[in-house]
Amino acid sequence: MAIATYIWNALVALFWWLDDLFSYLRDFFENLWDNFFRGIFQAIWNAYKAVHDWLENLLAPVIRILNKIRGWVQWAFNTYVKPILNVLRIVQQFLGVLKALGVKWAAQLDADISMVIGYITKYYNKALSYINAIISIVNSLADPLGLYRSPTFVMSMRRIFPSFMRGISGMPMGYWIPSPLKSAPLGMGGIPGNFNPSDPSQNPPPSTYFNYDDGLGSFGGWDGTDPLADTDADDMTSLDAFDPNAWATAPNPDPVQSLDTAQQSGWPWGTYS
């Protein structure tokens, strides 16, 4: 009995000692954060914000002028150049008929028109790319870390997430979070039982996922000049695996049963059947 009491008292003493130790450590780290690191981080953030506000006020007129130049270039192209290109394309359709009838000069003229259209669109796109690059540089000078463009950052992360998963794991997005849809793009759906990671038709490279714009919604009303509003991030959609509507149209809408079926096929992350 005395031994049991001694052990009990020892355990109680150990408990209170550990409690005092954890309380001390908690107070230590709280004081370290409140009285040291928080002040440093706050000072850095305040300095960054002050510099950002100053640069934004300084460069805002430049950005407005560049946006007006870009808008004028787009207006001039759509108003005067694009109608001419449309006429040339109609002429090409007529020349196609003549080529089919064996008219030799029609082929040469069609090639010349294609070259002209190619040159015009090439230099128009190049001019826009230069203007956009300058605008991006000026924006970067005002906000080099992109901290004041949160919607852009968040939506960019949503877009590159599948590519990021492929890059760090070496496996397609569908290996980790597969889409239940039959129409899922390459690499996004469930993987087959004979999955071969070395086969790009089953395990496409990270760059493939950049073509999907998955989850970003529509940008049809955005003219590319004004910064994205915070509410634009609300238009993002979830991955198919977390979308109840996607499961409702899947071959088997029951995810638990689908997983059981996939496991029975011999692959732990197999297709949904």
Percent of the chain with pLDDT over 70: 78
> Would you say residue 262 has pLDDT above 70?
no
How sure is the predictor about 11, in pLDDT bands with cuts at 50, 70 and 90?
confident
**Domain residue ranges of the chain, discontinuous segments joined by +:** 2-142, 150-264
Using a cut of 0.85, tell me whether the model's pTM lies above it.
Answer: no
pLDDT tens readout for residues 26-83: 877 777 777 777 778 788 777 777 776 777 777 778 878 888 888 888 898 889 888 9
Dist CA 88 CA 19 (whole Å) = 83
Pairwise CA distance, residues 60 & 11, whole Å:
67
- Output the pLDDT for position 270: 42
pLDDT exceeds cutoff 60 at 273 = no
Q: Which residue has the tokens 């908690």?
A: 26
Output phi, psi for 9, to 5 deg: -65, -35
The answer on pLDDT for 218 being more than 70 is no
Only one residue has tokens 């492929």, namely 166
Q: Which comes out higher in pLDDT, residue 220 or 105?
A: 105
How far is Cα of residue 34 from the mean position of the Cα atoms in its chain? 36
Amino acid letter, residue 54: W
Report how far apart, in Å, the C-alpha atoms of 263 and of each of 29, 176, 241, 258 are.
47, 14, 17, 9
The backbone torsions φ and ψ at residue 193, rounded to the nearest 5 degrees and listed phi first, read: -65, -25
Q: Rounded distance, CA 218 to CA 236, Å?
A: 9
